Structure 1
Amino acid sequence: MIEATDFRDAMSLLTTAVNVVTTKGESGIYGFTASAVCSVTDTPPTLLVCMNQAARSHAHFSDNKILSVNVLGAQHESISNAFASKLGSSERFEYGQWTELVTGAPVLEDALVSFDCVIDDIQQVGTHSIFMCQVVGIKYAEPQDGQHESLVYFNRAYSRVGQVDIT
């Protein structure tokens, strides 16, 4: 049997993009930092987002049934930390500039890319919920100085990866 700590240590060596996942609706406005986000299919465009069921905002995401996945750039480390902290929901949104697309879920204006989604299905697996999210809107950021740099998480620390746009 694999111990949870051994599994977490092994997973820390899987490089992941850093995202802030947000929601807004009758249940309120909430967000959290997530690395467990991936593409499921492009027809229809669908993302998978995992969230701990013990998270303070879990019920609000389930109730609102919408979310946006904001892929963070290298300049967003403070935003990632704010949304991973014990700050209150409204305090978290004081970091960054926010707008909306189709669903009304908050979209970070200068995220590398934001996916605006409707939650189609929620599955419970162990301690987490898996949100199956149909993408209904996409917003790209303009590259800064001709280059995009992504904020990634590896071995329990932030790193940056980038690509210079050749135009």
Structure 2
Amino acid sequence: MQTREAFRSAQRRLAATVAVITAGQGEDAVGITATAVTSVSMDPPSLLVCVNRAASLHAVVAATGRFRVTYLRADQPEVARSFSGGRPQAERFGSAGWRLDGDGGPALDEALAACVCELEEAVDFGTHTIFVGRVAQAETGDGRPLLYCDGVFGELAA
């Protein structure tokens, strides 16, 4: 197996919390499903997200300097599927209770958690840009996280 395929196979076996990264407002709202999200620092509070430069989200984050990371609950796999590609952006936001005028990007009602970030740094690497955002706002909700591992959505065992 070539290194690229072996790497992809290895990464698919790592369980990760599912997030939707959004930016823009109204008709300009865009979003993607992602697991390439991680905290960077508590001082200042910051997150990094990795976005393919071919994704429509990329241009909007670069232009507006803001994005929202919404962590999904275990009962929201359809939301994740809606944002994982193949659908026009406007249809993606029809999957659940999205408010398209959210500060920093569309906001999902009843999310597990969400963070609005102001872009601090952008680093191109390979096909993606690593966007580092300073957290300007954080919210938490109830529920268990939606996880993704080896092509399957799931949740933590009780």
Q: What is the correspondence of 1:12-161 to structure 2 with a 5 Å cutoff?
A: 12-25=12-25, 28-99=28-99, 103-141=103-141, 143=142, 148-161=143-156
After TM superposition, where is structure 1 displaced by more than 3 Å over at least 4 residues in a row? Answer: 99-104
Once the 2 structures are TM-superposed, how far is the Cα of residue 162 of structure 1 from its aligned partner?
A: 5.9
TM-score normalized by structure 1? 0.86
Once the 2 structures are TM-superposed, how far is the Cα of residue 103 of structure 1 from its aligned partner?
A: 3.2
Going from structure 1 to structure 2, the CA distance change for 1:45 and 1:111 (only over 3 Å counts) comes to same
1:126 maps to amino acid: G
2:77 aligned counterpart, secondary structure:
helix
Cα distance per residue 1:55-93 (max 9 Å; x no partner): 233212211211110000011100100001211111111
Once the 2 structures are TM-superposed, how far is the Cα of residue 156 of structure 1 from its aligned partner?
A: 1.6
2:29 aligned counterpart, secondary structure:
strand
Which consecutive unaligned segments of at least 5 residues does structure 1 have? none
More strand by percentage: 1
Between the aligned partners of 1:64 and 1:26, the Cα distance in structure 2 is: 14
Q: Which has the larger radius of gyration?
A: 1
Going from structure 1 to structure 2, the CA distance change for 1:36 and 1:15 (only over 3 Å counts) comes to same
Once the 2 structures are TM-superposed, how far is the Cα of residue 100 of structure 1 from its aligned partner?
A: 7.3
Cα distance per residue 1:7-60 (max 9 Å; x no partner): 000111111100000001599210000000000001110001001112233212
Going from structure 1 to structure 2, the CA distance change for 1:61 and 1:117 (only over 3 Å counts) comes to same
Once the 2 structures are TM-superposed, how far is the Cα of residue 5 of structure 1 from its aligned partner?
A: 0.8
TM-score normalized by structure 2? 0.91
Identity of aligned residues (%): 30
Going from structure 1 to structure 2, the CA distance change for 1:102 and 1:92 (only over 3 Å counts) comes to closer
Cα distance per residue 1:110-134 (max 9 Å; x no partner): 1100001111111001111000011
2:37 maps to amino acid: V
The answer to whether 1:5 aligns with 2:16 is no
2:151 maps to amino acid: R
2:115 maps to amino acid: F
Aligned residues: 157
Q: Provide the alpha-carbon RMSD of the alignment.
A: 2.1
Give yes or no for contact 2:123–2:129 (8 Å, CA) kept in 1: yes
